[in-house]
Amino acid sequence: MQIVWTRHAQERQQQWQQRLEITRQEVETVLMNPQQVIVEDDVFVAQSRRGGGLLRVIFVEIGNTKRILTLYWTNQVNRYWQG
């Protein structure tokens, strides 16, 4: 499975790396091995718990490619965690 980063996703990762030290590798790990995946319309959200919150990676699947649209960390676990 190939991972493609949009420019926006790259910029967001850099911002979160400065704030919470979220690395590209960590984002790709969540994308490939999430604790939970939520489907919202045709968009997927891979998410994993991290430091009292959630790292959420929003992506679409196109063929054998996962295209990262954006990502963010939130402390609103109860709002987004399902189950």
pLDDT digits (tens, 9 = 90+) for 51-71: 999 999 999 999 999 999 999
The whole-number pLDDT of residue 1 equals 87
Between CA 13 and CA 23 the distance in angstroms is 7
pLDDT for res 83: 83
Hey, which residues does 38 pair with through a beta bridge? 45
pTM, full prediction? 0.96
Sign of the C-alpha dihedral computed for residues 18, 59, 34 and 64 taken in this order: negative
Q: Which domains does the chain have, with CATH numbers?
A: 2-80 (3.30.2310.20)
d(CA 17, CA 21): 4
User: How many alpha carbons fall within 13 Å on the CB side of residue 60?
Assistant: 7
In tens, the pLDDT along 3-45 reads 999 999 999 999 999 999 999 999 999 999 999 999 988 899 9
